[in-house]
Chain A
Amino acid sequence: MAFRHKHILGTEFLSREDIELILDTAESFKEINSREIKKVPILRGKTIINLFFEASTRTRTSFEIAGKRLSADTVNISASSSSVVKGETLEDTAKNLEAMKPDIVVMRHSASGAPHYLAERIQSSVINAGDGAHEHPSQALLDLLTIREHKGTLEGLTVAIIGDITHSRVARSNLYAMQKMGMKVRLAGPGTMVPPGIEKLGAEVHTDMREAIRGADVVMMLRIQLERQGKTMLPTLREYAQFFGLNTENLKLAKEDAIVLHPGPMNRGVEISSYVADGPQNVILEQVENGVAVRMALLYLVAGGEAKE
C-alpha cells in the first residue's frame, strides 16, 4: 500500500491503514538504530529544516537524529536564534525558508494550526512536531509503536490518559489515533483540565483517576505543563499529586501486566512517583527509543512524495 500524504499535520488525518504502515515502517527502521554504523542512504541529498518556535530537547533531537540516520541534511532553527524574535511574520519566515528549497520542514509552534498554515504556503512537506494544544502526531505514533510491541496488538486495548487533557496535544493526537486502531480511551483529570465536550470525540471521561485506571492495559500520564498553567487551574502541586498522580498504590488497579507511558519530561513526585517512573511497568525510555524509529518512518514516507500511479 502506498502512502498518500505529503504532510503529517495530525493523526486526525491519518487512516488506520496509514498508521499501520507507519508503525511497520518504523519497526523496519529500528534495526538500524542497533547497528554499529547507524546510517542508511535513502534520504541522501534531502534537506530537512527543524523549525522550532518552542523549547524542545527530546523531540527536536529525535527528529534530527532520525534525519541524519537516513542521510538527510538536517538544519535546526530555534526561536531564540531566529528572526521571529526580530519581528518577522510566520508568512515571511515561510517564504524565506521556501527560497532555500528544503524538502521537509519539521515544525513546532505554540499556536494551534501553525503547521497547517505553513503547509498551505510552501512546496515542502510539513511535519507537525507539536502545535499549541492541538496535535503532536509523532508522539502518538511512538506511543502506539511502544504499546504494540508490548501487547502484540492494539485492537481492543483499554488506555487511561490522565492529567491536563485541555492543554495536551499528546492526548488529542492519541485520542484520534487510538480510536482508529480500535482501542478504548478513558480520560481523567481535574475538572479545570478536562475540556467540556471532549466525550464527543469518543472518549470515556472520568473525574476519579482510579476509575479510569481500573482494568486498563495502558496508563499514560501527561506532564503538568507548568509553563502553560494559569495559577487558577491548580491549587497546589501536592494536591494534584494526591488526586491525579500515579503511584504504586493506584497503579495496582490497572491490569497486572499494564504498562506505564509518559511523554516526558517528567515532573517526578507530581504526575508520577519515582517508584512508578523507575518501576518495572514503565516503558518511558522505550518510548524515546521508538521515537527515533517513528520519525525516520515519517520522514521516509513523506519524502517519497504523494503516490504516483
Chain B
Amino acid sequence: MIFTVVKRELLAIFRNPAEVFNPLVFFVLVVSLFPLGISPSETVLQTIAPGVIWVAALLSTLLSMELLFRSDFDDGSLEQMAISPQPLLLLVTGKIFSHWLVSGLPLVMLSPVLSIMLALGVEGIQGMLISLALGTPTLSLLGSIGAGLTVGLKKAGMLIPILILPLYIPVLLLGTSLIQTAAAGGDYNAHILWLAALLALSAGLAPIATTASIRISLSH
C-alpha cells in the first residue's frame, strides 16, 4: 500500500515539475555563491566545501518541506487520508519517502558535480555521496514533523526552519565531519554508523510525531 502512496505522490509531483526543480536550483545557487563570497582559492574551498554543501542541503530540504502536506491540506485530501481506513502512519511514511525521492536523492546525485566545483578530491566526493545518501532521509523525516505541525497555518514558511533547524544539527555535524575525515584519507566507519543510527531512529519515531501533528493540525 505504501507503494500506491509513493506512486500517487510521484505522479502528482511530476505533473508539476517546477516544485521539484526549484529547491534543486536553489541548492546549486547557494553552493556557487560561496566561492564568490569567500574566495575562489582551492585551499579555502576545500576546507569549506563539506559545510557549504551540507548547509545548502539543509536549507533546500527545508524550502521544499512546506509543500509536503500543503497542497493535500488545501484541497482536503489530507483530511480524507486521515479518516480513511488505512493507517495514516503508513500514508505519511509514504509521503515522506517520496519527498526524499524527489528532493533528497537529486541532491545526492548532484553533489559530485558541486564537489568538483569546490575542489574536493576523489576521496572527499566519495564521502560526500555516502554522507548525503545517509543524511538526507533523516532531514526529510525530521522536517516532516515541522511540516505537519505548521500545515494549518497561513505563515508556515519562516516557522518550519525555526522549529526544525536545531534538530538538524547532529546530522550536519556528523555529515560534514564524515566528508572531512574522508577527504583527509581517514577511516570514517564510525561516522557512517552514527548517521545510520540517526536515520534508523528518525525513521522509527519521526513518522509517529508527524502523524500526531497532522491530526492536531486537522482538528481545527
Answer yes or no: are A and B bound together in one complex.
Answer: no
Residues of A with Cβ closer than 8 Å to B? Answer: none
